[in-house]
Structure formats: structure tokens, C-alpha cells
Amino acid sequence: MTGCAAAEFKTEGSVMKGYFRVKDANSVAFYSSSDGFTKNEAVKDGKKWTVTVPKNGEFTYYLEKDGEIYVPDCEMKQQDDFGGTVCVYQED
């Protein structure tokens, strides 16, 4: 599993599962550069939100929390093309 305090990823065959700790959220969606930032709805699983996406070794991503852009506490970040920040995932 690779990640940080608020975001973790685990590879399972040809897919990756992302696990996110997002407090006080009613809905969470995951957006990633690996699929052109298509909206992927996350499912609440206990205290974490989970999303399943195709396996990819490197991508940028952000979340949507209750309809608002949300960048979780992640180990690596970079500026996006719109002046905001996105998280960076790189497979170890």
C-alpha cells in the first residue's frame, strides 16, 4: 500500500483501490489524470471512502467532497494548469 495519512492505494490485479479519509463528507468523488479526470464515485466503507480504478503507475488526482474540490493530505503535490493543487501518485 502506498500513500500518506489521508490517502492510500493498493493494487489488486488490473485495478487499484484508493482509500481516503475525508471527515464530515456526505459524498466523495475521485478524479485522476489516468482517465482524463472522469468522475469516479467513492463508496463509504467504515471511516474511509473507497474507489476502484484501472491500475496505473503514475497519475495526478484530486477529490470532490460534497460538490467542492478537495485535495487530501498527500505526500506529493503539484500545481495544476488552473492555479490549484493536485496530489501526485507514483508507484514505488
Q: What percent of the chain has pLDDT over 90?
A: 68
Output 64-72 pairs: Cβ under 8 A, ≥24 positions apart: 64/27, 64/28, 64/29, 64/30, 64/31, 64/39, 65/22, 65/25, 65/27, 65/28, 66/25, 66/26, 66/27, 67/27, 70/22, 70/28, 72/6, 72/7, 72/20, 72/21, 72/22
Could you tell me the residue range of the domain that residue 18 belongs to? Answer: 2-90
For residue 12, the domain's CATH number is 2.60.40.10
**6-17 mean pLDDT:** 91
Q: Check residue 52 and give its pLDDT.
A: 94
Q: How many domains does the chain have?
A: 1
Inform me whether the pLDDT recorded for 2 exceeds 80: no
**46-70 mean pLDDT:** 94
